[in-house]
Amino acid sequence: MSAAALAAETATRLAAADARGLNAVLAWSEPLLKQQAALLDAAPAGPLSGMAVALKDNIVTTDQPTTCGSRLLEGYVSPFEATVVSRLRAAGGLVAGKTNLDEFAMGSSTEHSAYGRVLHPHHPELVPGGSSGGSAAIVAAGAVRAALGSETGGSVRQPAAFCGVVGIKPTYGRVSRFGLVAFGSSLDCISPFGATVADAAALLAAISGPDPRDATTLDLEPIRVPLPRADLRGMVIGVPQEYFPADLHSGVRAACDRAMSRLRDLGAELREVSLPHTRYAVPAYYVVNPAEAAANLARFDGVRYGQRRIGPEGDIRALYRATRGQGFGREVQRRILVGTFVLSAGYAEQYYHRAQAVRRRIIADFDAVFASGVDLLFTPTTPTPAFRAGEKTADPVTMYLADVFVCPASLAGIPAMSLPIGRDDGLPLGGQLMARSTDESTMISVAAALESVIDATAEVRA
Amino acid sequence: MTIDRGTVQHMARLAELAVTDADADALADQLDRIVRLVEQLTEVDGDAPSTDSAGVVVGPSRTPLREDVVAPIAMAHGPAEFAPAMQDGLFLVPRLGGMTDS
C-alpha cells in the first residue's frame, strides 16, 4: 500500500473513532497526513512502511501541539522533535496523531485528562486503562496498527491488557527519552503498542538504540525483531505465586491457566517461583514516583512555556502558585504534594530512603529468580478486567492498586510486556511476560509463539 | 504520621502550588490514605534505619562521556512562539518582591 493510500485510510478511521466519541486522539489532521505521505512515497521503503503510528501526547513533535493532557500546556508546540519520532519517520512510519492521556501520564484509567476521559474501545462505560489510554484505545479500535505510549509504572501494559492489544515495556534505557516530557526519571520508558506482537516488536526495533541526546540510553545495538519460535522446548518459565492471590479475579485466573497450558503444550517448563517483595512494589512506587514527579514538574512555572495565571499578590511567587494551582489537575497536585512530603526535611529517611531500600530488594528478587535458571516470568497483567469509569476516581489508593502486577518490572527496569490471552464477558484480559534485563528478544519470541496458539478473542469461561 | 490541612498547606508552599483551604481538606484526607499505603514499607525492615541510602541505579552503570563539543539542536521555532510573555528576547516576569522565604 502506498503511503498516500495509508494516509487516506488512516484519516477515515480516525474520523470514525472521533465520530464514536472515543476521545482517544487529541490532535490529527488530514493535510498533515497527506504531507507526510508525499515524503514517504518519495523515499525508499523501510521496516515501518505501511504502518500508521499514533503518539501519546507527552512525546513532542514540531508539527502538532503537545499538551500532556494538561491545561497548563494548552497550545504548546515544541521547537524540536523527539528522537523516537525522527526514528519512526526514518523507518517509513506515518505519524497518525497525538493521543489522549492521564495528565502528565499520572493515572491508570485516562480519566485524569484535562480534555476529558477516553472511552474503552469496546465498552464505552468502562475505562481503557492508563495512562496511555488513548494510544491503547486507538489501536484497539483498529484506526492504527501501532502507537507509542510511555511507561512509568505500567502505563502501557495495563491499558494494553484492558483494551486487548499488545504493549511492550523495554529495558530501562533501551529507547531514547529525548523529547518525552519527563515524569519519573528513574522509571520512564517510551513503549510501543501493537495490534499484534509483530507490530509492537517492529516499532520497538525501529525506535531502540543509543542516542547521544539521552545519556541514560544503553550503549547496545538496536533490538532486532526475533525470528518466530516453532516450539519452546528447553525454556523455563517462572510463575511467581505472589501474582496469583486467592482473591484474583476468576476470569483472569482462567485466562492465565489456559495460557500456561498452551505454553506447556509448546514445550516450555513452567516452574513456581517466589518474588517475596511484590506486595511492597506499589507502596515503594508511590514514594519514588511522586518524589521524581515533584522535581520534574517544577519546570512548569508559567514563565517559559504554557499557560500562566497571575496570583492576587501580583509578584512572581504568586504567578508560580496560581499557574500551578490552576493549571494542574487534582491527581498531578496530589503527586507533587506527596513527592514534596516524602523528600522534606524529617521525612526523607522514613519514606524516600526506605522506598529506595525496598526497591533494591525488589530488584534482588528478580535477580535471584533469573539466576536460578528461569528464562521468563508469566503473570496476569492486571488483577481484574477493565473497570467502570468513575469507580476508582474518589480513592487514589484504590486506583494505584490497579497497577500491582505492572509496578515491579518498572521499579526493576526490566523488560515486560502484555499480550491478549482471552476474554471474560467480552472484556479483554492480558497476560504478562517479564524477562531479565536487555533480553527483550526471548520475551518477544515467546509472546509471538503464545499468540500463534491462543484465540485471544475467545471467552475463557465458555 | 497523620496528614492534616496544615501539612498540606506547608507542602503546597514548598511546591509553589496554590491550594484553597477547602481543597486542602480533601487533599489531606487523600494524602493521608496514600501515606498509610506507603507506611507498609516499614514491614520490610521494621524501624531499622536504611544502612544504604544511595539511589537505585537502573540503566547504564555509569554516565557515558561524550566529546566536549557544542552540538546544537535545530529548533523549528524560537521561545517567543511558546512563552507566555517575551520582550526583546527575554522572558517577562512580574516583580520579584515575593522571593523571600515565608
Query: B55 pLDDT exceeds 80?
Result: no
Of A165, A180, A183, the C-alpha closest to A112 is A183
Residue of B nearest to A325 (CA): B18
Query: A326 pLDDT exceeds 60?
Result: yes
Secondary structure (DSSP) of A317-376: HHHHHHHHHHHS-HHHHHHHHHHHHHHSTTTIIIIIIHHHHHHHHHHHHHHHHHHTT--E
Q: Report CB contact under 8 Å: A216, B97.
A: no
Q: What number of other Cβ atoms are within 10 A of residue A270's Cβ?
A: 15
B48 in contact with A, Cβ within 8 Å: no
Closest-CA distance, A425 to chain B, in angstroms, reads 32
Which residue type occupies A293?
A
Cα A353 to Cα A16, A57, A349, A359, B18, distances in angstroms: 49, 32, 5, 10, 28
Q: What is the pLDDT of residues A294-316, one digit of tens each?
A: 999 999 999 999 999 988 888 99
Query: A53 pLDDT exceeds 90?
Result: yes
Tell me the chain B residues in contact with residue A62 when contact means C-beta distances shorter than 8 Å: 76-77
Q: Cell for B74?
A: 535545530
Tell me the chain A residues in contact with residue B50 when contact means C-beta distances shorter than 8 Å: 349, 353-354, 356-357
Percent residues over pLDDT 90 in chain A: 96
Average pLDDT for A117-131: 98
Could you tell me if residue A267 is left (phi over 0), alpha (psi between -120 and 50 degrees) or otherwise beta? left
Residue identified by cell 483498529 is A142
Average pLDDT for B40-61: 71
B90 in contact with A, Cβ within 8 Å: no
Query: A282 pLDDT exceeds 80?
Result: yes
Tell me the chain A residues in contact with residue B16 when contact means C-beta distances shorter than 8 Å: 298, 301, 317, 320-321, 324
Query: Among A110-124, A243-257, A341-355, where is mean pLDDT lowest?
Result: A341-355
Q: Give the integer Cα–Cα distance in Å for B18 and A312.
A: 11
Closest-CA distance, B38 to chain A, in angstroms, reads 4
| Confidence at A210, pLDDT banded by 50, 70, 90 | very high
Q: Which residues contact A87 (CB under 8 A, 6 or more apart)?
A: A206, A207
Q: Cell for A284?
A: 515503594
Tell me the chain A residues in contact with residue B3 when contact means C-beta distances shorter than 8 Å: 341
Q: Report CB contact under 8 Å: A321, B63.
A: no
Q: Where does residue A220 rank: exposed (0-12), middle (13-18), buried (19+ CB within 10 A)?
A: middle
Res A290: pLDDT: 98
- Are A179 and A59 in contact by the 8 Å Cβ rule? The answer is yes
Percent residues over pLDDT 90 in chain B: 60
Closest-CA distance, B80 to chain A, in angstroms, reads 9
B70 in contact with A, Cβ within 8 Å: no
Tell me the chain A residues in contact with residue B40 when contact means C-beta distances shorter than 8 Å: 279-280, 283
Tell me the chain B residues in contact with residue A286 when contact means C-beta distances shorter than 8 Å: 34, 37-38
Q: Report CB contact under 8 Å: A341, B66.
A: no
Average pLDDT, chain B: 85
B69 in contact with A, Cβ within 8 Å: no
Q: Report CB contact under 8 Å: A396, B33.
A: yes
Q: Cell for A403?
A: 497497577
Query: B49 pLDDT exceeds 60?
Result: no
- Give the number of beta-carbon pairs within 8 Å between A and B: 203
> What pTM was estimated for this model as a whole?
0.96
Q: What is the pLDDT of residues B56-91, one digit of tens each?
A: 778 777 777 778 898 888 899 999 999 999 999 999
Q: Report CB contact under 8 Å: B31, A395.
A: no
For A353, the closest of B53, B81, B98 (CB atoms) is B53
Q: What is the pLDDT of residues A235-281, one digit of tens each?
A: 999 999 999 999 999 999 999 999 999 999 999 999 999 999 999 99
Q: What number of other Cβ atoms are within 10 A of residue A395's Cβ?
A: 14
Known catalytic residues of A are 56, 131, 155
Alpha helices in A20-105 (DSSP H): 30-42, 83-90
Half-sphere exposure of A149 toward its Cβ, with a 13 Å CA cutoff?
Answer: 42
Q: Report CB contact under 8 Å: B98, A301.
A: no
| Count of H-run helices and E-run strands, chain A | 14, 11
Average pLDDT, chain A: 97
